[in-house]
Amino acid sequence: LKLSKTLSSHHEMNETEVGRLATMFYICGELSMVGFHKSMKASKSHQEMGPPISLINVMKACIPKFLPGRSTVTPDRIRAHAIIAIGKLCLQMESTAKSTLNILANEIQLSHEDKNWNIQCNSLVVFGDLSMTYTGDVERYVPMMSTCLQAGVSQYGQSDIPTDDGSENVREQAVLVLS
């Protein structure tokens, strides 16, 4: 209840609220992985014991730069944690994975334009994990993921920005995911 009140209010979140929400997403992602092995398929009973759909929807809503119906920017810390947490849930819940792939693809494209390397890198990490489980669903996003090889590089092949900005992490992650 307090979470939905915080997200639906039209004020900017303070650092305490941002920290709590990011921590909540982190804990939810970690708890979802307890006892899970990559060879396991999510059974119906596992999905019933999983997180409520409302929590999954909150995580998905926190991924874009703006929350639905809000004009204030969603802090990158919340977005980054939401991406990783929803990725962990996607590994176990195929329906969640299928409904999240377009959101993540959109974030990779927008974060490339905004030079938001943390969001782009986290999205690539999730795509890499999901490619092992849902290869057919992820395959159509390979051309979009390959654009990440150009993160931080201008059209003339020169770096737009200093090398410690995080874009090199995106390029490294893109090589790992695509190989």
Task: Quote the pLDDT of residue 158.
Answer: 56
Q: Tens of pLDDT along 37-91?
A: 665 555 444 555 667 888 899 899 999 998 777 778 889 999 999 999 999 999 9
CB of 114 closer than 8 Å to CB of 154: no
Task: Give the C-alpha separation, 4 to 27, whole Å.
Answer: 18
Q: Tens of pLDDT along 26-42?
A: 998 998 888 766 655 55
Residue 129 half-sphere exposure, CB side, CA atoms within 13 Å?
Answer: 23
Band of pLDDT at residue 2, cut at 50, 70 and 90: low
Task: Quote the pLDDT of residue 45.
Answer: 46
Task: Give the C-alpha separation, 149 to 172, whole Å.
Answer: 8
Task: Quote the pLDDT of residue 101.
Answer: 95
The DSSP code for 149 is: G
Query: What predicted TM-score, i.e. pTM, was given to this entire model?
Result: 0.81
Task: Quote the pLDDT of residue 1.
Answer: 44
Task: Give the C-alpha separation, 114 to 173, whole Å.
Answer: 18
